Amino acid sequence: MSKFSILAVFLLAATSWRDAQGSVGVPQALEDHQDRIECLEVFDPLDSGRRTTVTLRVENSLDPNFVSCEYQVSVPVRKSVFQTMVAATRQFDNFTFRATYFPEYAGHFIDSINGLAGSSHSKTYWRFENGWGEAFDRGVDLILVHANDDVIVFRYTSWA
């Protein structure tokens, strides 16, 4: 699938954004729909503001043959992990993902990464962790990246 259709998924998801207005603590709680799309469009690559390089690691606890991989993604500080993932799709041809927007959590659930999808049927999902194997208590839109040594891990695993 092309990057454009993946982006289109985000833009579709963004249409439900208005429902989430008034949520507390949302980093990009924007009044205007166009602003939100621009926010998803990420940022000016020539932006002279302080940037950081975040490590995005993809692992799989269910498949011993899975080759773990890692992406060094350049983003301005204080962007969300979701925005970092969008940036990664721009910076790497071999990173893709799909997500579903849930207004009640003011953010996205990550459905699939590099073509591998979680499923309710097989009780699998992409667990969202920090570099010490601890699951974040919030979704990808509510965690911001700060420093050069930030490590974000997506681990394909089971909730059974």
Ligand X SMILES: *[C@@H]1O[C@H](CO)[C@@H](O)[C@H](O)[C@H]1NC(C)=O
Query: Is there binding between residue 139 and ligand B12 (CB under 6 A)?
Result: yes
Rounded to a whole number of angstroms, the minimum distance from the CB of residue 48 to ligand B12 is 32
Chain positions 52 to 81 lying near ligand X, rule: CB under 6 A, are: 69
SS3 66: coil
Q: Whose CA is closest to 136, among 153, 119, 156?
A: 153
Rounded to a whole number of angstroms, the minimum distance from the CB of residue 53 to ligand X is 14
> Based on CB atoms, which residue is closest to ligand X, 85 or 142?
85
Chain positions 98 to 127 lying near ligand B12, rule: CB under 6 A, are: 102, 105, 107-110, 120, 125-127
Query: Is there binding between residue 135 and ligand B12 (CB under 6 A)?
Result: yes
* DSSP conformation letters of 7-51: HHHHHHHHTTGGGGTT-TT-TT--SSHHHHHHHHT---TT--S-E
Indicate which of ligand X, ligand B12, none lies near residue 110 (CB less than 5 to 8 Å, by partner kind): ligand B12
> Based on CB atoms, which residue is closest to ligand X, 114 or 130?
114
Out of 57, 103, 138, 144, the residue judged to bind ligand B12 by CB under 6 A: 138
Q: What does the block give as tokens for 29?
A: 């709680």
Pairing mode, if any, of strands 51-60 and 124-130?
A: unpaired
Q: Where are the beta strands (DSSP E) in the chain?
A: 51-60, 69-76, 97-102, 107-113, 116-117, 124-130, 151-158
Query: Is there binding between residue 94 and ligand X (CB under 6 A)?
Result: yes
Give the position of tokens 């932006």: 47
Applying CB under 6 A, the residues found at the interface with ligand X are 69, 92, 94
Applying CB under 6 A, the residues found at the interface with ligand B12 are 102, 105, 107-110, 120, 125-128, 135-140, 142, 159
